[in-house]
């Protein structure tokens, strides 16, 4: 779950990501983001966190994407997070971050707090 607070206030819980962990992959199965904060780049921060976690654990970050007119912004966000098309299955795209990609640095202007902290 993701929550957002900034200099304008606390927005509360604004997103959710569900991943399936396999021995080789970290598969993004679901990502929801509140439209009222999507333009603030929160989706990219959440994706970069998931990519960092997967690569640090030796897993390949993977996402299955069903292209529609409504979710085009999500495809752009995935691409900016380093996901690249690797296959097409049953009308959807399979995207993955190459495992040899350097682990993205945490942006200095954000703070990610995990449930473990």
Confidence of residue 110 (pLDDT cuts 50, 70, 90): low
- pTM for the structure as a whole: 0.82
79 is written with which tokens? 């691409």
**Residues recorded for the chain:** 117
Confidence of residue 33 (pLDDT cuts 50, 70, 90): confident
Q: Model confidence over 60-83: pLDDT tens digits?
A: 999 999 988 888 888 888 998 889
Where does 1-117 have alpha helices with state H? 42-56, 72-80
pLDDT of 28 reads: 95
Q: Is the pLDDT at 108 greater than 70, yes or no?
A: no
DSSP letters of 78-111?
A: HHHTT-EEEEEETTEEEEE--TTSPPPPPPTT--
Q: Which whole number is the average pLDDT over 50-64?
A: 92
């Amino acid at each position: 779950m993701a929550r957002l607070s900034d200099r304008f206030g606390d927005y509360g819980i604004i997103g959710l990501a569900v991943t399936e962990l396999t021995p080789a992959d970290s598969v993004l199965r679901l990502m929801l983001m509140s439209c009222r904060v999507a333009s603030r780049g929160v989706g990219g921060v959440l994706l970069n966190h998931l990519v960092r976690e997967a690569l640090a654990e030796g897993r390949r970050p993977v996402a299955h994407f069903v292209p529609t007119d409504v979710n085009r912004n999500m495809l752009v966000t995935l691409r900016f997070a380093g996901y690249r098309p690797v296959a097409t299955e049953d009308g959807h795209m399979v995207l993955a971050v190459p495992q040899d990609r350097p682990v993205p640095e945490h942006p200095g202007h954000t703070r990610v707090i995990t449930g473990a902290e």
